[in-house]
Structure formats: C-alpha cells, structure tokens
C-alpha cells in the first residue's frame, strides 16, 4: 500500500509540473508588459515619498552645495554632469571611464540596479526595484540638488 501512495504522489506531482509547463507554453499573442513610461512616472511623482526614500541614501551622500563627500560623493548639481566627476571624490575606474551623463533616465537605470548598470562601480546598494519609487526619488533629488534658478 505504501508503494501505491508513493507512486500516486509522484504522478500527481508530475501532472502538476506538466500543467505549469503547458501554461508557460501558451500561444497567447499578448505582448510582454511594457516598462512604465518614465516621463509619466515623473509627472506623478510624490516628493514626500522621494524624501523618505532618500533617508536610505543620506548616510553615504550629501545633497547641498558645498556639502561633504561621504562614502559616496556629494550629489549637488548632479543632473547634466558626467558621471565620475564630482569634485574631490575618488571614483572607481568604472565610473571615471563611463560615458554616462546623469539624466532622469540614467539615474533611474542606476538606481534600479547599480551593479548591472555599470559593472565595477563601488556603490554597495541593491537598488530600488519599484519604478514609481525611483521616479519619486529622482524628483526629490532634482529639487534638492539644483540651484533655485535652474
């Protein structure tokens, strides 16, 4: 009797696995879900949520003009600047040699997964997975790291 229960369990497990495989092979003509439009996310950004998200960043980064470099560089006036060139910070070769200018798009890609965006950089951060949270943080950074007349 034990053998038949064991065999029945295996058959049920195989049938379940087969069902999962077949579900993955459906011939549905639906396109994969498109990535959210960054401009739309930025337009709907929550500045207060961005400020809350920045609390994770403040141990390593300052934002104000003339603020200190910490473990990471001061982020003042970062948008529009070439990556790896904030004054007085010792960047990794990966950032210094990167052909990246910080824009909303590049900052979003960086914040999503720094190690994938630019392999060899020294930023120890897993990233912000939620696209709206990245947009919230970007809008906060844009406001806090730019001169009032920019």
Are the beta carbons of 53 and 128 closer than 8 angstroms? Answer: yes
Residue 21 predicted with pLDDT over 50: no
- Domains annotated for the chain, with CATH where assigned, are 38-144 (1.10.760.10)
Q: What is the pLDDT of residue 28?
A: 46
Are the beta carbons of 121 and 114 closer than 8 angstroms? Answer: yes
Are the beta carbons of 145 and 67 closer than 8 angstroms? Answer: no
37 vs 118: CA distance, rounded Å: 22
pTM: predicted TM-score of the whole model, two decimal places: 0.75
81 vs 98: CA distance, rounded Å: 12
Residue 138 predicted with pLDDT over 50: yes
Instruction: Dump pLDDT digits (tens) for 57-96.
Output: 999 999 999 999 999 999 999 999 999 999 899 999 999 9
pLDDT band at residue 136 using 50, 70 and 90 as cut-offs: very high
Q: What is the pLDDT of residue 1?
A: 53
């Amino acid at each position: 009797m034990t053998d038949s229960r064991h065999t029945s369990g295996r058959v049920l497990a195989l049938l379940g696995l087969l069902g999962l495989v077949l579900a993955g092979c459906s011939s549905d003509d639906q396109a994969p879900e498109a990535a959210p439009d960054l401009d739309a996310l930025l337009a709907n950004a929550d500045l207060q949520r961005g400020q809350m998200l920045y609390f994770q960043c403040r141990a390593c980064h300052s934002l104000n003009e003339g603020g200190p470099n910490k473990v990471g560089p001061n982020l003042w006036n970062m948008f529009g600047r070439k990556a790896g060139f904030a004054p007085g910070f010792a960047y990794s070769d990966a950032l210094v040699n990167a052909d990246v200018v910080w824009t909303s798009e590049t900052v979003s890609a960086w914040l999503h997964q720094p190690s994938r965006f630019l392999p060899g950089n020294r930023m120890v951060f897993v990233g912000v997975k939620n696209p709206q949270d990245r947009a919230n943080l970007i809008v906060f950074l844009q406001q806090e790291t730019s001169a009032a007349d920019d």
